[in-house]
Chain A
Amino acid sequence: MGRVVAALRASTLARHLLLFVVGIVFVILLTDSLSDFHDYQLATLGAYLCAVAGLTVLTGTNGQVSLGHAALMAVGGYTVALLQTRFYDDGVSGVWVLPLSLLAGTAVTAVAGAIVGVAAARLRGPYLAGATLALGVALPDITSHYSNTFKGDQGLFVPFDGPPGELGTFSLEHWQSWISLFAALVVLFFLANLHRSAIGRNMRAVRDDEIAASLCGVSVARVRIGAFAVSAAAAGLGGGVLAVVLQTASPGSFDLVLSLTLLTAAVIGGLGSLTGAVWGSIVVIYLGTFIRDRVDNLKLSSASAAKLHDNLPNAVYGLLLVVVMLTLPGGIQGLIRRLTALRPHRSTTPTGGST
């Protein structure tokens, strides 16, 4: 026993692998006991978590702000939709089809992210935020201009095989939550290893002081482009999974609101922390549902109830963003760390350096 603990302490990879396996067991047990509705919510959570984890690495660890991550998710989502349609039309089926599509979506988005990253590497702070915002806003233009391929506002249908027969009676939502949460665990596993590697260290060095980092032999541009590609890959997988969960890829499901929601989740959870990404995703998925349920119980007139139902969660998120940034820049994870303080404080949030 002692040797196992010592081995885990010595090897980051082993520790993360153990967490990964624990996560998978937890997901299987959790989704089994929940209703279809809650499984579906978990499936959405998994898709968000992929993208939020990518964004928190980009913005928190590397200091590059993106207000257009939903556009990168869209790249992944549309790739998966096009591939799945193609497979389906050609009558190709098998357990490997969907993983292949998701992998292709991830790869295509990583390339797209690297291209965006080349431009982004020369931009700083507000300029980068504005440029990525413009990217997010321009996305519906692309889908409507090339409406032969992307079917405009209506979007593409995503056909995929349901749960395999060996699992017995197994609902579609249950299957979707497995796909989605497994993808999220894979993303977290890879990003956690990256975070603790030399690449992650270089990212933080570039975030904190570019000039010092380049004097130490770190190629600032390469690190920044790489961070964008990695973050885009995570977002692309999230987008692909979201397309599978929604069974459609349309501009409406990858809009500006989603981009801002991802940033909200990353900030509330704690920028730069993958655990924080989990907290943040849980908050944006479940706090919204919680508030909407309370509104529905208020017995208001239908018009004002609908307005509150649609907008009150966003008002709370907006307020939370401002309050968290002003009073608690480390987010939930920062708060937990401060409260427990079991380990010596290791700052991973960009609170001091110039960005």
Chain B
Amino acid sequence: MSRFIFLTFNGLSFGAVYAAVALALVLIWRTTRVLNFAQGAMATATAYVAISVTQATDSYWLGFVAALAAGLALGAVVRLTAFGTAEHAPALNTIVIGVGMLILIEAVVGMIYGAANRDFPASFSTRTHAIGKTALFSNQNIFTVGSVLALMIALAAVLTWTPSGLRMRAAAFAPEIARLLGVRVGRMLTLGWALSGLVGALAGMLVIPIGLGLYPQAMDGVFVLGFVGAVVGGLDSPVGAVVGGVTTGLALSYASGYLGSDLTQLAALVLLVVVLLVRPSGLFSGTPVRRV
């Protein structure tokens, strides 16, 4: 039982990270029908920015904020340079462009920082609290869940209550009508990519310290798990992405805890295939519509 409790908290913490990656993917998917395969590489790049800023200023939190800012900027840059012109191209083209950006970003990071695995400091202590003999969670776990939750509430608030949020939703929901009503649709889409970059950067800052270490391909595996989370929840629904991400985190935590710790990615593959075959539009989507 104590193991189950520990695995649950562990799963919630990782689930929060996957939820953030999933949300980053969904933010872009629902506006432009692009699945950004460079999302993980972008998050890794921002973590390197954090390390540089922390070394220069001696302040961890300045580095943390710099990573989030870099995520915003990188998201916008990636759309403006690579994806912007291909948004109406067939899915194959945007997939290939995403893969190209993935290779390019990881190579550029490798050229600057090298391929060595670096220690990456956690925001808070990773020592696990325990009651009696039952291990529970660490301060880092609390921060992980708390910060992802806070960011999501902030995002939801921005999208729901601010004029910019309204314009963004309009641009996503009906781009042509929005354009007729004076919304700068292109600019709104770029803003969406920037926000997605920010969410991805947060995920990277949270997950790289716990067990991954920082190297240019660090987020490849996490990206896949975030994608699984997004598919479990349904690529069209931000709420679904969050629930799907947490579900994935819990499922994989139990799988690796009870079946073997080297089976995480394999369990993710099984989960992905089952969900895709049983309910391809995700567990939390509305009526499935096949786009022709």
Contacts and interface: CB of A to CB of B under 8 A. Distances in A.
Nearest to A207: B92
Contacts of A264: 99-100, 103
Given A134-B227, A141-B266, A322 B95 contact: no
A263 B82 CA distance: 18
Given A59-B92, A312-B111, A315-B111, A321 B103 contact: yes
B7 interface: no
Nearest to A308: B111
A351 B88 CA distance: 12
Given A134-B269, A141-B266, A260-B102, A125 B276 contact: no
Contacts of A299: none
A271 B221 CA distance: 27
A59 B93 CA distance: 11
A319 interface: yes
A267 interface: yes
Interface in B102-158: 102-108, 110-115
A322 B94 CA distance: 9
A67 interface: yes
A122 B288 CA distance: 14
A137 B252 CA distance: 15
A145 B101 contact: no
Contact of B272 (A59, A134, A145, A263): A134
Contact of A256 (B90, B100, B110, B220): B220
Nearest to B271: A134
Contact of B96 (A127, A144, A321): A321
Interface in A283-329: 303, 306-308, 310-315, 317-322, 325-326, 329
A354 B227 contact: no
Interface string B17-57: 00000000000010000010100000000000000000000
Contact of B35 (A126, A303, A312, A320): A126
B107 A311 contact: yes
B231 A130 contact: yes
A271 to B, nearest CB: 8
A127 B102 contact: no
A325 B269 contact: no
Nearest to A147: B262
Contacts of A28: none
A307 B262 contact: no
A315 B102 contact: no
B209 to A, nearest CB: 21
Contacts, number: 162
A133 interface: yes
A129 B103 contact: no
Contacts of B224: 130, 133-134, 137
B277 A122 contact: yes
A21 interface: no
Interface in A18-41: none
Nearest to A266: B96
Contacts of A130: 35, 224, 227, 231, 272
A130 B22 CA distance: 12
B268 to A, nearest CB: 6
Contact of B92 (A140, A313, A350): A350
A211 B37 CA distance: 28
Contacts of B105: 318
Given A125-B95, A267-B96, A145 B103 contact: no
Interface in A67-126: 67, 119, 122-126
Contact of B268 (A67, A134, A260): A134
Contacts of B231: 127, 130
Nearest to B290: A124
A158 B113 CA distance: 35
A326 B97 contact: yes
A320 B107 CA distance: 13
B280 A325 contact: no
Contacts of A65: 91-92, 95
27 contacts: A65-B95, A119-B276, A119-B277, A125-B35, A131-B269, A131-B273, A131-B276, A138-B269, A144-B262, A211-B292, A256-B217, A307-B114, A310-B115, A311-B107, A311-B108, A312-B111, A314-B106, A314-B107, A314-B110, A315-B103, A315-B108, A319-B100, A321-B96, A322-B82, A322-B97, A322-B100, A326-B97
Interface of B: 29, 35, 37, 82, 85-86, 90-97, 99-108, 110-115, 216-217, 220-221, 224, 227-228, 231, 235, 260, 262-266, 268-269, 272-273, 276-277, 280, 292
10 tightest A-B contacts by CB? Answer: A318-B104, A321-B100, A125-B91, A318-B103, A126-B35, A314-B107, A315-B107, A311-B110, A322-B100, A138-B265
